[in-house]
Structures are given as structure tokens and as C-alpha cells.
Amino acid sequence: MTFTHLIPFLAGLLLLYYGAGWLVQGASLLARSLGLAPMVIGLTVVAFGTSAPELVVSMVSAFKGKSMIALGNVVGSNICNIALVLGLTAVFQPVTTSRIVITRDIPLMLGVSAFLMLLSLNSMIGRFEGMLLLGGIIAYTVFNYKVGLRIDRTGAGVTDPAAPDLVAHGQVRKRWVQYLMAAGGIAAVVVGADLLVDAAVGMMTALGVNEKFVGLTVVAFGTSVPELATSVVAAMKKEMDISLGNLVGSNVFNLLSVVGASAMIRPISIPGGFVHSGLVIDYLVMMAISALPWILMRRDLTITRRKGLILFGCYAIYVMFLILKS
């Protein structure tokens, strides 16, 4: 990898990180000013904003015909969110969640993962399958919206994680500034995604590795940087009440909307076939790691530091496996 590829790659990472932050802050403040409930903002605006890098990178990859970067980015990001992000977060501060995440959200994430695997068996995710996945994210969003409204009526709503610090520092700006922040965030994410994909393709060519490897590792880690930074900072501030729920929601968003939108732009083909390409192993790893929080938390609802090290160790072993295989 030369500086020719490294500089645009780092520039793309920075734009993705700051762009996602601007998008979440601007859109959250705008939604608050329009009177939306905090829980609804958290389940819609913030969920979309934190997954915006994965969405745009995969869509740009699909548009440029790099389907394995698009699909590898989703699979790798989901593995990264649970094993690396949740693992490191728990090392800084044990993560405790609610029972509903264990009984409803994680099984739903596993079910969606199994459905995507079923769609991939013929080595092609076409536009019709993309429509099914996009329909799934619409149903998921509507369901969470109704649940959020019901919780808000009981007075037990979850606050918008992007807004409290802004209010505390007097940063609730005029509406035109909120529009500008959201629009600037979208522009930065789009430009950053384009730089990142081009740099990833350049690295792939220079290092002689396939695009699936690049999507599963370098690009997946890059698009998970916002979740990693946000979760670690929240852990250091001991504000971990909705951390796992957000990560699980982000993974569901990735599987449904990111793959769905990418397939709608251009059908995603799997060169060499689903089995022979080795992607079936990556899917199984994603599902196994996605099930780990359920296994580790089903009794005490907590990821301790020791359990966090287990998750982080699983990610390190998986990356080492990819490197050795490549």
C-alpha cells in the first residue's frame, strides 16, 4: 500500500466520521425542533446517521460494479460492531442492557441474517430481493416507531443520544443551521465514501488481494469508526444504557437497507459462487458472533470486561484467519 492510496483512504475515513456526526447532530436537532419524541429520533434519525457510512459506501461500491466490497462491507461491519466495538466498549466499561434486547432484538438480528444467507445461496442478490430487504427495513422502522411512541406515553422513553450534550452546551441552533449541518453531513459522507472505495480498490490491486477481503476488513472497519468512537466515549462517560440496542439496530439496518439499496442499484453477484468464494464461512461467522451477546448476557444482562475480551479475541482471530487465507 502506497501513500497514493493511504492519503485518500484516511481522508475518506475522516469525512465519514465527521460527516456522520454532523448528520446525526443536525438531523436530531431538526427533529427536536419539529416536535418529534426523543425515542422516535433515536430509532430513526440516529440509527440512520450511524449507519450512513455503510449505506453510502456499499451503494457507491455497487454503482462502480464492486459488488463484493458492498456485500463484504455489510458482513464485516456487522462482525466489527459486535466483536470489536462491543468488545472494546465492555473493556472500558461493562455494558448492561434490557431483557427485551435479549428476547426480541438479537433474535430478530439473527433471523434477518439467516434470511440474507438464504437469499445469497444462488450467488446473486437481485433487484427483487433488494425490494424485499427494503420492505423489511420499512416494516422494522414502523414497528420501532410505534413501540417508541408507546414507551414515550408511559414516560419511560429513551433519550436521543445525540442531543443532551448539545442542549447542555447551548448548541440548539437556528433551523437553517440544522439544515446546513444535516446537508453538510450527507455531502461529507458521500465524498468520503467515494474516496474510501477508490482507495480500497487501489489497495486491492496493489496488494493483490480480492475485493471481498478488502470489504470484510479495511472498508468494514472504516465504516464502523463512528460506532466505535461513539461507544467508547459513551463507555468512558458511563452512559451505556442503550449501547447494545443501538449496535443491534445498526446491524439490522445494515442487513436490510444497505444490502437492499445496493442490490436495487445493481444486482449483487458473488464471483465464484456463494460456497466456493468462501462467503458462506463469513456469513456463518457473522451469525455466530451475533449470537455471542445472547449467550454471554442471557443470565445477568451484562457484558463484563472478561466477556468483552472474549468478543475482542474472536474479532482478532477472525481477522487473522482472513489474512492467512489471503
Residue recorded with cell 414497528: 143
12: helix, coil or strand? helix
Q: What is the pLDDT of residues 147-174, one digit of tens each?
A: 766 655 555 444 444 444 444 444 455 7
- DSSP assignment of 184-198 equals HHHHHHHHHHHHHHH
Q: What is the pLDDT of residues 108-146, one digit of tens each?
A: 999 999 999 999 999 999 999 999 999 999 998 888 777
Element (H, E) at 46: none
CA distances from 305 to 87, 89, 213, 310 (A): 8, 9, 30, 9
- Look at residues 293, 290, 316 and name the one whose alpha carbon lies nearest to residue 303: 293
83: helix, coil or strand? helix
The grid cell for 67 is 459488488
For residues 28 and 41, is the Cβ–Cβ distance under 8 A?
A: yes
User: Which pTM does this prediction carry?
Assistant: 0.79
For residues 94 and 238, is the Cβ–Cβ distance under 8 A?
A: no
Query: What pLDDT does 126 receive?
Result: 93
- DSSP assignment of 97-141 equals --HHIIIIIHHHHHHHHHHHHHHHTTSEE-HHHHHHHHHHHHHHH
Under CATH, to which class is 3-325 assigned?
mainly alpha
For residues 189 and 56, is the Cβ–Cβ distance under 8 A?
A: yes
The grid cell for 137 is 427495513
Cα separation of 191 and 180, whole Å?
16
133: helix, coil or strand? helix
Q: Per-domain residue ranges for the chain?
A: 3-325
Side-chain half-sphere CA neighbours of 35 within 13 A? 0
| Region of residue 158 (left: phi > 0; alpha: psi -120 to 50; beta: else) | beta
One digit per residue, the tens of pLDDT, for the chain of length 326 reads 566 778 888 888 788 778 777 777 777 777 677 666 555 565 566 666 667 778 888 888 888 888 788 888 899 999 999 999 899 888 888 888 878 888 888 999 999 999 999 999 999 999 999 999 999 999 988 887 777 666 555 554 444 444 444 444 444 557 778 778 878 887 887 788 778 777 877 877 777 777 788 888 878 887 787 777 667 666 666 655 446 777 888 899 899 999 999 999 889 988 888 998 889 999 999 999 999 999 999 888 899 999 999 999 999 999 999 988 87
Strand partners of residue 268:
125
- Look at residues 293, 284, 294 and name the one whose alpha carbon lies nearest to residue 121: 284
Cα separation of 71 and 15, whole Å?
22
Cβ contacts of 240 within 8 Å, gap of 6 or more = 89, 93, 94, 95, 96, 234
